[in-house]
Amino acid sequence: MANSSQVGFLVPLNDNLEEDTSNSIPKVGISKGINVLGRNVIPITDKRLSRKHLSLTVSSDGSSAEVLVEGTNPVVIRSQDKRKKLLSREKLTIRYGDIIELIPGHHLFKYVPFDGIRKTSSPNTQKRPLIEGIKDEPLTQKRSRQVSEDEALARRLQAELNDDIQDKKSSAEAICNFKPPKDKLPQTFRLMRVKGLQPWANTSSVSVADVIQGNVLVAVLSNYMVDIDWLISACPTLKNVPHVLVVHGESDGRQEHMKKNKPANWVLHKPPLPIAWGTHHSKAMFLVYPQGVRIVVHTANLIYVDWNNKSQGLWMQDFPWKNQDNSNKGSAFETDLIDYLSILKWPEFSVKLPELGSFTLNSSFFKRFDYSSAAVRLIASVPGYHSGSNVKKWGHMKLRSVLQNCVFDKEFQNSPLIYQFSSLGSLDEKWMTEFAFSMSSGVSDDKKPLGPGEPLIIWPTVEDIRCSLEGYAAGSCVPSPQKNVEKAFLKKYWAKWKASHTGRCRAMPHIKTFTRYNGQNLAWFLLTSSNLSKAAWGALQKNNTQLMIRSYELGVLFLPSSTKHDHSFSCTGNENPLENSCGSSSKTPEAKRTKLVTLTSVHSKKLDLPEVITLPVPYELPPQRYSSEDVPWSWDRQYKKRDVLGQVWP
């Protein structure tokens, strides 16, 4: 981060040795003294660039700096039209205008100190290339012009520095301050850890090993893609779990491979797909402990790249076993959960749980837990032609039904909507209207409908993908063809993926979120496996009496609430399981309705206020619409401009 001792910048250059203004690589602030530069400081995903690639020892006025190659790969210095290669542990002094090639021929940065600029315009200055059209310029006039240009550059860089200090401070603070107390975690979600980001960007983020931990007796892992070898290596705890059920959506060929390589105590199940082009896409975990059950709903496939390179989200909450007093007690969360699990139709099997007895593991088994403190509502999709009362049970009609029964602040009347996802189905304007009607449901305090909101689609541009942590390879996880993406009616919806406040501009989104907002306040927020498609959300048929859904999906809906719950129960704490309970819920006339806010809200730092719930929405709100130059990513086009790793696509 920029600071008061900063004396200049390393300015990224393009192939024409001009300042790279694409914003794919930022200017790097340089301070007095020793500056260590490498992958941790400069966001370049080139394995040849080490974490401690070189050090730059800058003089007190910034006019010169000593470059020392710290890593094993050579560095090239360009000075006065000459190139000198430095090998490991070799040194060279550089001055204003000299260029560092972090890897020979690649990743060029110009050394631009503030206080050294005027000095470089003295008679002893290094040679500068002639400007086209000014070949016969008198020497005194040339020097005067150079001084003027350099002073203007210094002013511009200083102004940018001041802006950067403020922007970076607020950006860093946004995610750095997201440290919810344990008893508030079920009321929010967390971003997943991304490799290669600055440490502040991973504040309160989670890995798979943070989730699957402790004395797990039974694990039900629901997902689309599953790499068993990676999963066990990333989460060794799974080796000790007696019973593991993997509910997946892999192809038949891949399924055979999984069967041959799975541990003996693992059971694999692919749910029935009665309608063509459907998938089992839900991403969840159900972990049974001696103390209770941990339910996790998230957005990542169980593969390496999803848990290391992408912007992802995860929600989880622990629930205790029911006792004799509440064995028949139900809740909306429980009803939705059991209805969903029963459709999966996995093969039942017996499990013996120490000190608890033997059970048959089926959907009804999960009725044994007390979900009365659930902080979210489940929004699920299952394949089928749903009619009668089932129309409102699944997909966007379930979301419509839940929102219709909610009361929101007046500020959300006709407020905008966000659709953010990683795969776009084949859509038409009629369905978009149908979907927006569901998303716009709900009433305000005066009982008036919130009314329609204008939706925007947050979707990465070609340039976002090209400059991402993975380069064009990231586009394989944004799998939408031109025929879906380039429909004319979609142009009015496109908005940019900008995530500077969470440090995830270059971590391409695999997270899926839908929300209604006003400024930094959220009416509601949905974290889900559902992309924007009829297959995931369903399409009404037969004069709106039937909802056709092709795929399995699962999401969690965050809503404002006036009911207070104790969310402190944990399956991995040290509490006595017989004494550990969810506690009571209460709704009193004095209870304030919770307020959902983003990380950049003025209320987000008030973590001690029970009515303020901060959600780490990874992208900026309101989003910036596409410019005329922005092109939405589609994965079946050719892209010949090389990405940050030097690759083209495909």
Question: What Cα–Cα distance (Å) separates residue 301 from each residue in 32, 231, 284, 420, 533?
Answer: 45, 10, 10, 17, 19
Report the percent of the chain where pLDDT is more than 90: 70
Identify the residue whose tokens are 């794919």: 24
With 70 as the cut, is the pLDDT of residue 607 above it?
no
In 3D space, the residue among 305, 304, 298, 316 whose CA is nearest the CA of residue 222 turns out to be: 298
Provide the whole-model pTM: 0.75
The burial class, CB within 10 Å (0-12 / 13-18 / 19+), for 501 is buried
Query: Is the pLDDT reported for residue 120 higher than 50?
Result: no
Distance CA 537, CA 12 (A): 44
Chain segment 537-585, per-residue pLDDT in tens: 999 999 999 999 999 999 999 999 988 888 899 999 854 443 344 444 5
Q: Which of 281, 298, 396, 567 is labelled catalytic?
A: 281
The answer to whether residues 39 and 103 touch, using CB atoms and an 8 Å cutoff, is: no
pLDDT at 2: 41
What are the binding residues for substrate?
A: 283, 512
387-403 confidence digits (pLDDT tens) = 999 999 999 999 999 99
Q: Judging by DSSP bridges, how do beta strands 494-495 and 455-458 pair with one another?
A: parallel
Q: What is the pLDDT of residues 162-213, one digit of tens each?
A: 544 444 454 446 888 999 999 999 999 999 999 989 899 999 999 999 999 9
Run of H or E residues at 258: helix 252-261
Please enumerate, by residue number, every residue annotated as part of a binding site.
Answer: 283, 512
pLDDT, tens digit, 9 for 90 and up, residues 348-389: 999 999 989 999 999 999 999 999 999 999 999 999 999 999
Q: Strand order in 54-58's β-sheet?
A: 33-37, 54-58, 64-69, 91-95
**Residue 412 burial (CB < 10 Å; 0-12/13-18/19+)?**
buried
d(CA 391, CA 321): 32
More confident residue, 44 or 163: 44
Contact, 83 vs 71, CB < 8 A? no
End-to-end CA distance of the chain: 36
* pLDDT given for residue 564 in this prediction: 81
- Is residue 510 annotated as part of the catalytic site, yes or no? yes
The 10s digit of each residue's pLDDT in 332-342 is 999 999 999 99
| The pLDDT of residue 40 | 76
Distance CA 207, CA 542 (A): 45
Contact 182, 204 (CB under 8 A): no
pLDDT at 137 over 70: no
107 a catalytic residue = no
Average confidence score pLDDT of the chain: 88
**What's the pLDDT tens digit per position in 244-287?**
999 999 999 999 999 999 999 999 999 999 999 999 999 999 99
C-alpha span between 113 and 95 (Å, rounded): 8
User: Residues 467-503: pLDDT tens digits?
Assistant: 999 999 999 999 999 999 999 999 999 999 999 999 9
Q: How many angstroms separate the CA atoms of 626 and 623, rounded?
A: 9
> For 173, phi and psi rounded to 5 degrees?
-65, -35
Residues in CB range of 213: below 8 A, 6 or more apart: 237, 572
Which among 243, 248, 501, 510 is annotated as catalytic? 510
138 pLDDT higher than 70: no
Going from the C-alpha of 572 to that of each of 233, 320, 582, 614, the distances in angstroms are 21, 11, 14, 24
What is the pLDDT, as a whole number, of residue 305? 96
State CA 552 to chain mean position distance: 22
- Among 429, 409, 190, 423, smallest CA distance to 313 is for 190
The whole-angstrom separation of Cα 643 and Cα 464 is: 10
Alpha helices (runs of H) in 177-227, residue ranges in sequence order:
208-211
pLDDT score, position 20 = 82
Weakest-pLDDT range from 85-99, 317-331, 348-362: 317-331
Q: What does DSSP say about strands 417-420 and 384-387: parallel, antiparallel, or unpaired?
A: unpaired
